Structure 1
Amino acid sequence: MSLKTEDEMLHRTEKRMEPSQQAAPDPASQEVNPVYLQQLRELDIPEEAAKQALLHTRNVSAEEAAMYYFNKLENEEEGDEDLIYKMVFVVNMDLSMGVGKVAAQVGHAAVGLYQALQEKNSWREMAWKWDRTGAQKVVMQGTNMAHLLELQALAMSLSLPTYLVQDAGQTQVEPGSRTVLALVGEEELVSNVTGSLKLL
Structure 2
Amino acid sequence: MEQSEESAPESGPGEVNPVFFQQLRELDIPEEAAKQALLRTRNVSAEEAAMYYFHRLENEEESDEDLWFKMVFVVNMELSMGVGKVAAQVGHAAVGLYQALQEKNSWREMAWKWDQAGAKKIVLQGTNTAHLLELQALAMSLNLPTYLVQDAGCTEVEAGSHTVLAVMGEEEMVNNVTGSLKLL
Deviations 1:154-192 (A, max 9, x none): 000000000000000111101100000001000000000
What SS does the corresponding residue of 1:119 show, helix, strand or coil?
Answer: coil
Q: 1:68 to 1:163 in 2, by over 3 A?
A: closer
Is the aligned partner of 1:158 residue 2:126? no
> For the pair shown, which has the larger CA radius of gyration, 1 or 2?
1
Structure 2 counterpart of 1:103, from 81, 87, 108? 87
Give the match for residue 34 of structure 2.
66
Is the aligned partner of 1:146 residue 2:114? no
| Structure having the larger proportion of residues in helix | 1
TM-superposed CA distance for 1:134, in Å, is 1.2
Amino acid at match of 2:66: D
Q: What is the aligned-residue RMSD (CA, Å)?
A: 3.3
Give the match for residue 127 of structure 1.
111
Quote the Cα distance in structure 2 between the aligned partners of 1:154 and 1:77.
Answer: 30
Q: 1:68 to 1:196 in 2, by over 3 A?
A: closer
Structure 1 vs Structure 2: percent identity of aligned residues?
72
Give the match for residue 161 of structure 2.
177
TM-superposed CA distance for 1:58, in Å, is 4.7
TM-score, length basis structure 2: 0.73
TM-superposed CA distance for 1:68, in Å, is 7.9
Q: 1:60 to 1:79 in 2, by over 3 A?
A: closer
TM-superposed CA distance for 1:81, in Å, is 2.9
Quote the Cα distance in structure 2 between the aligned partners of 1:69 and 1:170.
Answer: 43
Deviations 1:68-104 (A, max 9, x none): 8477749939942321100000000000200000000
Gaps of at least 5 residues in structure 2 are 14-19, 39-52
Q: 1:177 to 1:133 in 2, by over 3 A?
A: same
Q: How does 1:11-50 map to 2 (within 5 A)?
A: 33-35=1-3
